[in-house]
Amino acid sequence: MIKIENLYKSFGSLEVLKNISLTVRQGEVVCIIGPSGSGKSTLLRCLNGLEDITRGRIFIDGKPIDVRKNNPDVGMVFQRFNLFPHMTVLENVAFAPVKVRKLSNKEAVEQALALLEKVGLLDKKDEYPSNLSGGQQQRVAIARALAMKPRIILFDEPTSALDPELVSEVLEVMKTLAAEGMTMLVVTHEMGFAREVANRVVFMDKGEIIEEGTPHNIFEKPVQERTKAFLEKILK
Amino acid sequence: MTDRMARIVEILIDSFVPMLKAGLTFTVPLAIISFLLGLVLAFIVATIRVLNIKCLNPIVRFYVWIIRGTPLLVQLFIIFYGLPSIGITLDALTAAMIGFTLNVGAYSSETIRAAMMSVSKGQWEAAHALGLTKNQTLIYIIIPQAVKVAIPPLANSFISLVKDTSLAAVVTVRELFQTAQIITARTYEPLWLYMEAALIYLMFCTILTLVQSKMEMKFTKNLAH
């Protein structure tokens, strides 16, 4: 349902994405791994209009996307959560559906309460984000993204900014989403998650896709030298 | 000596009410109205610059450049003494108000613009990812957060403005400072009378500073971190 064809992206003279072609099918969980600077986050950001592209085409459900327009069918969860600090947890989750999907206040709140319960934070609904731990904030961020009923959610290193003991609560929520059939594209360093949950793993380095395959193939039987070198460093 | 001191005390007592009255009738209202109007102007200018509205951006940048690059005193003179020669005659109070409003508009627009820019880029990105338009993001997400950042410097500007209204005296507005001048001309005790005027300014500004502290405490409760 997402098709990326020969995508090139440069920042000025710096080429960060080279000839990226990738397909993500509905219900798939695709994890993108790779060293810093490999372009993983940039690739994600090209998919929802946060970056424009230099060359190439992106199709969502067969239709080419307008790269500067935002698409509420594509949700995103950020490394630094980016919750709205001046709104309560409940307001954060209920806000966009009212303004963008034109839900009534009542419907949006009902939906928000259900989503907060799903991520285990119903009791925090009237708190402000600054009173929550990182893991809790990220779970609220996931609920906020889900409130827009997206067709696919992009996760940009969702647990990288969290203290280690808070990582698993977020990964649990993501596993539940995956099991429910959400299409997910996840940039992550959590190899355990990728192994367990991903349908496919994509290894990127220096702006290119070096190798992709099932978690088993990538982690147990990597073919490319660069993949092997990276995994060796990470999995030590 | 005591005769002179008795006379000074009498002058100070007699002049206090007229000066306070001038302060309350002109200084404070002039400052408040000019500031509020100026804030509206500043807000519009800041929004144009932050959203980078192509056709209006050069105009507002020119306006900010001119006002920030010329003395307030000269601006007031141009408006009150200069405009009549091209057919625009304004009364003193209106001229003063226009001058102060334009001044506040330019300086505060930079404060507001900086406050809007200080809201982290991640807020724009999260709003974008949720499908909000740029205008919705600005109104509901950015500005509420920018307001909290902008209040201390804006309160500062307002307190400064209260003192700058003394310049209205040179375009013949009978505010606090001008009143002090008039009484001095009559009684020849400049030191005491101008100190008394200073004291009244100090009173106003101290009260305003206390109000500012209260407002800051109220507004900064829920900033991130």
**ipTM, 2 dp:** 0.91
Q: Check: CB of residue B35 under 8 Å from CB of residue B161.
A: yes
The pLDDT of residue B4? 86
Strand order in the sheet with A74-77: A74-77, A152-156, A183-187, A29-33, A200-205, A208-213
Which of the 8 DSSP states describes residue B142? I
Tens-binned pLDDT, residue by residue, of chain B (225 aa): 688 889 889 988 988 998 888 888 888 899 999 999 999 999 999 999 988 888 999 999 999 999 999 999 999 999 999 998 898 888 888 999 999 999 999 999 999 999 999 999 999 999 999 999 988 999 999 999 998 889 889 999 999 999 998 888 888 888 888 889 999 999 888 999 999 999 999 999 999 889 888 887 877 665 544
Is the alpha carbon torsion for A13, A16, A20, A23 positive or negative? negative
What are the backbone dihedrals phi and psi of residue A58, each rounded to the nearest 5 degrees, phi first?
-125, 130
Contact A85 B131 (CB under 8 A): no
The pLDDT of residue A53? 86
CA atoms within 13 A on the CB side of A89: 28
From B128, B130, B222, residue closest to A85, measured CB to CB: B222
Q: Which residue of B has its CA nearest to A128?
A: B222
The pLDDT of residue A71? 79
Residues of B in contact with A86 (CB under 8 A): 144-145, 148, 222-223
Q: Which residue of B has its CA nearest to A149?
A: B130
DSSP string, A201-221: EEEEETTEEEEEE-HHHHHHS
Residues of B in contact with A74 (CB under 8 A): 129
Radius of gyration of chain A (CA): 18
Contact B130 A96 (CB under 8 A): yes
Tens-binned pLDDT, residue by residue, of chain A (236 aa): 888 888 899 998 888 999 999 999 999 999 999 988 888 999 999 988 888 888 888 888 888 887 667 777 899 999 999 999 999 999 999 999 999 988 899 999 999 999 999 999 999 999 999 999 999 999 999 999 999 999 899 999 999 889 888 998 999 999 999 999 999 999 998 888 888 889 999 999 999 999 999 999 888 888 888 888 888 888 76
The pLDDT of residue B110? 94
Confirm or reject contact between A106 and chain B (CB < 8 A): no
Nearest CA to CA, how far is B134 from chain A (Å)? 10
Q: At what angle do helices B2-22 and B190-219 cross, to 10 degrees?
A: 40
Q: Given phi > 0 = left and psi -120 to 50 = alpha, else beta, which region is B146?
A: alpha
- In the structure encoding, which two tokens stand for residue B55, read together? 């056709």
A36 vs A230: CA distance, rounded Å: 11
| Run of H or E residues at A127 | none
Contact A72 B130 (CB under 8 A): yes
B8 vs B167: CA distance, rounded Å: 26
